[in-house]
Amino acid sequence: MLTSMKSIIDKALTLPRQTVAVACAQDAEALKAVAEAQAMGLADFILVGNTDKIRSIADTIELDLAPFELVDARGEACGAATTVAVVASGRAQILLKGFVDSSVLFKAVLNRDAGLRNGATVSHTVVMDVPGFDKLYLLTDAAMIIRPDLETKRQIVLNAVKVARALGNPDPVVGVLCESEKVNPKMPATVDAAALVEMNRSAVLTGCRVGGPYALDNAISIEAARHKGMRDPLAGKADILLAPDLAAGNIFYKSLMYFAHARSAGVVMGTKAPVLLNSRADSHQTKINAVALGILMAANGNQA
Query: Does residue 250 sit in the same domain as residue 149?
Result: yes
Q: Could you give the percent of the chain with pLDDT greater than 70?
A: 98
What is the Cα–Cα distance from 241 to 173, expressed in whole angstroms?
9
What is the Cα–Cα distance from 44 to 34, expressed in whole angstroms?
8
Query: Does residue 112 sit in the same domain as residue 137?
Result: no
Query: Does residue 209 sit in the same domain as residue 292?
Result: no
Query: Does residue 106 sit in the same domain as residue 56?
Result: yes
**CATH assignment of the domain containing 76:** 3.40.50.10950
Query: Does residue 300 sit in the same domain as residue 171?
Result: no
What is the Cα–Cα distance from 291 to 271, expressed in whole angstroms?
16
Query: Does residue 248 sit in the same domain as residue 283?
Result: no
Residue 115 pLDDT: 87
**CATH assignment of the domain containing 130:** 3.40.718.10
> What number of CA atoms fall less than 13 Å from residue 216's CA on the CB side?
9
Q: What is the pLDDT of residues 28-78, one digit of tens each?
A: 999 999 999 999 999 999 999 999 999 999 999 999 999 999 999 999 999
Annotate 236-273 with b (16+ C-beta within 10 A) or e (fewer): bbbbbbbbbebebbbebbeebbeeeebbbbbbbbbbbb
Residue 280 scores a pLDDT above 90 = no
Residue 13 pLDDT: 97
Residue 304 pLDDT: 39
Query: Does residue 134 sit in the same domain as residue 241?
Result: yes
Query: Does residue 128 sit in the same domain as residue 260?
Result: yes
| Average confidence (pLDDT) over 139-150 | 96
How many structural domains is the chain composed of? 2
What's the predicted TM-score (pTM) here? 0.94
Query: Does residue 183 sit in the same domain as residue 249?
Result: yes
Query: Does residue 133 sit in the same domain as residue 192?
Result: yes
Query: Does residue 7 sit in the same domain as residue 61?
Result: yes
Query: Does residue 83 sit in the same domain as residue 209?
Result: no
Domain hosting 160: range is 123-266
**Which among 99, 102, 90, 93 has a CA at the least distance from the CA of 43?**
93
Average pLDDT, whole number, for the chain?
Answer: 94
Q: What is the pLDDT of residues 159-212, one digit of tens each?
A: 999 999 999 999 999 999 999 999 999 999 999 999 999 999 999 999 999 999
Q: What is the pLDDT of residues 185-196, one digit of tens each?
A: 999 999 999 999
**Which among 303, 273, 283 has a CA at the least distance from the CA of 21?**
273
